[in-house]
Structure 1
Amino acid sequence: MSNSIHKGAIMSNNARKIAYDIIYDVKYNKAYSNISINKAFNKNTIDNREKGFVTELVYGALSRLIYLDYQIEQFLDMRASKLSKQAKTVLEMGFYQLEFMDSVSDFASVDESVKLIKKVDNRSAGIINAVMRKRVKEGKAEYTDKISDKAKSLSIEFSISEYIARRFLKIYKEEFTRQLLSSMLEKPSLFIRLNKLRSTEAELFENLEQQGIYSKKNDIIDSAYEISGMKNIGSNPLFVKGGFVIQDLSSMLAVKALNPLPGDTVLDICSAPGGKSFYIADLMENKGQLDSMDISEHKIQMLKKRAVELGVDIINARVMDATVFNEEMTNRYDKILVDAPCSGFGIIRRKPEIRYKSYEDVNQLPEIQYQILSNASKYLKDTGSLVYSTCTLEKKENIEIVDKFLENNKEFYLEEEPKELYPHIHNTDGFFIAKFKKDINKSV
């Protein structure tokens, strides 16, 4: 074992405890992984190397829980249900390190797992030690030949709920589903967008060059760049200044489809935390009226704060429940963006807790989405445009909503063919974009 790995193992003892607390919080307290990580980093003083370790371990383990649990069961001499929550979490972390983290030696994975369980459930120390050592000795277990149910096999292999696996198999062919699920285990590309209100392309390039960050300009969105190698984005001077924002290409494409222009009156009806609103304002050259609304008071306050940092002053942000019709807003807007709340099946790479959603978690969403879209359509002027978008790949929340809306609202038509974006094809989040045009003469 190299000296650097040994030092890393010792240094990461506290980091592992932080990672454990986050994973446990997400698994058993229904916390959101990104929020829990940010809280942990604000609470604990750890260096950037440890932050990287924690982030990799947290997102990695949370993204493979079903697979890890299957592996653990193969090495247990007892029923998995007999394990304490603490022991199960420590084993998931340990097994993840053994199989997926090349920077951590087998010895460190076992030793640090035993140290960690002694902190959180000392009675399970013997079990952890025995199971981890057995796994090191025998290697990972194979499983694909043992399971004939395709959905269940995919669920284990790609660590996705059986419900999602069955839905994808119903929507797509098996090979496409496998490619899609495989891409959802990969680290997503990072895109940033230049904020022309605060910076220039030359200043952005200089900032990236000074940090040795690779960037590639996007062919479709002229202010978007795919980057790699950027660390500590929150402390980047140009980011703090508002010179650029982090935003996936799919979100930018939804705004580009809306085509907001200077002087327009625009509504972003489910706007928080504000990424799409800020890009709308950018395309409007900060001229016109942009109403950004959301049901969350906290998120609206965050949006207002970031708008000031970005130099955007045309946004009128306020709290509103989009499912409740507001008669005062009737026929007010030239363009409306409905980025509806959804199951999030397209952003599983970014929020691993979504992987484990069940039918009960998502079955009411289409009704909510249709209500929001129906309300928003009434706020549009007689010749206005409306974009409906989601970050899911579930047909019930996408094309079926579109078809139902068109059937019940004859004054609307699709201005262009709806777009479906896939991680393994388009290098974006999974996303759906449909653009409607309103023409009251069409319904006559």
Structure 2
Amino acid sequence: MKSRTIRALQSGGAAFVGLAALAACGPAGATKAGGRPTFEGRGPITYVAGKDASGSVQEMLDRWNKLHPSEKVTFVQLPTDPDAQRQQMIQNAQTKSDAYTVLALDAVWTSEFAAHRWIDRLPEDRYPLSQMLKPIVETGKYRGGLYALPFSSDGGMLYYRTDLLKQARIAKPPATWAEMKADCAKVRKLPEARGMSCYAGQFQKYEGLTVNFAEAVNSAGGVVTDAKGTPHVDTPQAKRGLDFLVNSFKDGTIPKDAVTYQEEDGRRAFQTGKLIFLRNWPYAYPLMAKKDGSSKVADRFRTAPLPGLNGPGASSLGGHNLALSASAENKATAIDFMKFLSSQEIQRFTLSRAPGAPTYEALYKDPKLIKQYPYLPTLKQSILHAVPRPRVFRYGDVTAAIQQQVYAAMTGSTSSAQALKDLQQTLRQQAAGE
């Protein structure tokens, strides 16, 4: 037995704060012959994730801690910004610190963390993967092995103003970009829509821009990278996707200030009556449905699949998975905790308190949940047809390159063709450097 003080990076950067003195039992990083972890050791562990705005995370941990008083879990909250979360997790892994045990990884980080051996391969037979939506399960795999356990998913949806479409005698939400622009032209002729903009997504230079660009490319029949990580952005399909974004800024379909939008900016614009259509995640639904006066669109909107070039588009597949830090101790406890946290019971509990995208197919059919969150059937279809962002070894470099070139094209610093040509060259060089 030995004790140590777990030190964890806190929101805001480099300061380290001692969280708790934890008793560690069993050998850290013990492996079988062949390199597979044995998952030994029981005792206190940490759960590391972005800031919890809903408060539901601590409730879940309290449930576990009440049942496992000698194996308590401490919640280490990282910044809200996903790029900052990733950097702090990488820093912990590179120093081989045992401060972080179970990591809530963005679904797209699995390949990078697995390839660097920052996380352990998990025992698939310990988890009910067959009950989960297949595209979600695939986000946790790397080279045929399970390295991250599905915990929550996410899919983009099109939010639209039902009242305005009805007044403009539009029978159904648009399935294509051209239909959306035509619908906007009709709606904006209404006195009630004076001064409104047509559409917005997330276009600031951050991870959301990578998501929106990938969706545009996928929805035009292209891919950013193939299954092997080979880039394919200098193609006619990718250009049609990027041109949709660039031309929409030029013709006013997307308001100019949307180049600064993250998720919350778009949500506020929609719920204050500034937008007819909005691309966003399911978390926004109950916020915009509030009838306390904070939303001008309560009872006046619904969701639909994202539009595409020739028909319904393809969302980027979002969400978070649970991974086990390779340098952690008390891995037997961690494996059990991950099963608990990813269980259908806990996902039902979480969904009853905060919106989201569960991983279990059964929860999308639950009448009580559908009544509370009417977006669930649309969200299921979004996830089933979603395309993962590039599953590459050096994801951080890839997303930074995408953001730089796409932002330059949208703001007029370069043409779509040149941006994609430069991006293709950069992504090829990065792939060659792996």
Same fold by TM-score, threshold 0.5 exceeded? no
Q: Which has the larger radius of gyration?
A: 1
* Structure 1 or 2: more helix by fraction: 1
TM-score bracket for the superposition, by shorter chain length? under 0.3
How does the TM-score come out when normalised to structure 1?
A: 0.25
How does the TM-score come out when normalised to structure 2?
A: 0.26
